[in-house]
């Protein structure tokens, strides 16, 4: 039986100054975004991007993912808690980021970028879609290090005991998401985008893959105790993923 290694969430402790693994994962995600973006600019000339546009996309997107991710978590998951504990809103090192909120934040940020460069929103989203999954993988590794977002009890051979939770073997759902929403999505989108596609198709594939993978993995993930399962015994994550899947199918057919 596997046991969670109980990694200290603080990677570097210098008295009052601390660097958390969660923050390091975000840093790796941002660096990966920039480096992969430069590769796309050099190898996919039909995209008509340059490094100035990439830098702006990074700046706008970083603000969108952090602000949207935090706001989404507050609104979708723990609104009452943060109303009662507003100081906790800035405690990002403790986790508490919503992918769906971050996704909406990035879309809003890219709308502003599209207006700045006078290009279509979908063309920008097509460019950044293959750059995102590795960042999602790093984020889930951060969740695993923090021993948060653990899975439901299981007899599966990959079951893992999280000592900070209880003595039951549980799905390491953070690692499932890291593998599917991170590495598998990255490979699929990176190779799919190596050829010129109709505008919107790469974004559509991103939506369909993420919506599908997140919906399925949620069956192994312990529902948030403050929400539980919702209508039809589906989790909040599943209900938020369904519109993404539908939007992806619609966009792919329309492209």
What confidence score (pLDDT) does residue 221 get?
Answer: 96
Per-residue pLDDT, 15: 78
Q: How far apart are CA 151 and CA 174, in angstroms?
A: 8
Residue-wise pLDDT for 92-143, tens only, equals 666 667 888 888 999 999 999 999 999 999 999 999 999 999 999 999 999 9
Domain boundaries, the chain: 2-254
Whole-number pLDDT of residue 235: 94
pLDDT recorded at residue 128: 96
pLDDT of residue 92: 65
Phi/psi at 161 (nearest 5 deg)?
Answer: -85, 130
pLDDT value of residue 88: 75
pLDDT tens per residue across span 3-18: 999 999 999 988 788 8
Give the Cα separation of 176 and 173 in Å (integer): 5
Is 170 annotated as contributing to ligand binding? Answer: no
Residues of the chain short of pLDDT 70, as ranges, are: 92-96
pLDDT at 147: 92
Q: Cα torsion at 201, 202, 207, 213 (round to 10°)?
A: 120
């Amino acid at each position: 039986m596997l046991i969670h290694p109980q990694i200290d969430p603080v990677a570097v402790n210098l008295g009052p100054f601390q660097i958390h693994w969660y923050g390091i994962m975000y840093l790796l995600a941002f660096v990966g975004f920039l480096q992969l973006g430069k590769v796309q600019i050099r190898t996919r000339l039909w995209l008509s991007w340059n490094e100035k546009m990439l830098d702006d996309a990074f700046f706008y997107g970083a603000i969108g993912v952090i602000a949207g991710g935090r706001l989404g978590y507050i609104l979708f998951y723990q609104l009452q808690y943060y109303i009662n504990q507003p100081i906790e809103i800035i405690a990002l090192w403790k986790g508490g980021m919503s992918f769906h909120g971050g996704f909406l934040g990035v879309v809003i940020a890219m709308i502003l970028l599209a207006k700045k460069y006078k290009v279509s929103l979908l063309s920008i989203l097509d460019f950044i879609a293959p750059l995102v999954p590795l960042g999602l993988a790093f984020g889930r590794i951060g969740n695993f290090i923090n021993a948060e977002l653990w899975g439901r009890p299981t007899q599966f051979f990959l079951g893992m005991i999280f000592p900070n939770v209880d003595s039951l073997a549980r799905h390491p759902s953070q690692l499932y998401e890291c593998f599917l929403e991170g590495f598998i999505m990255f490979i699929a989108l990176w190779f799919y985008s190596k050829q010129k596609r109709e505008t919107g198709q790469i974004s559509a594939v991103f939506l369909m893959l993420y919506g599908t993978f997140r919906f399925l993995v949620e069956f192994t993930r312990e529902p948030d105790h403050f929400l539980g399962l919702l209508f039809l015994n589906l989790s909040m994550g599943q209900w938020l993923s369904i519109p993404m899947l539908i939007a992806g199918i619609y966009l792919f057919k329309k492209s």
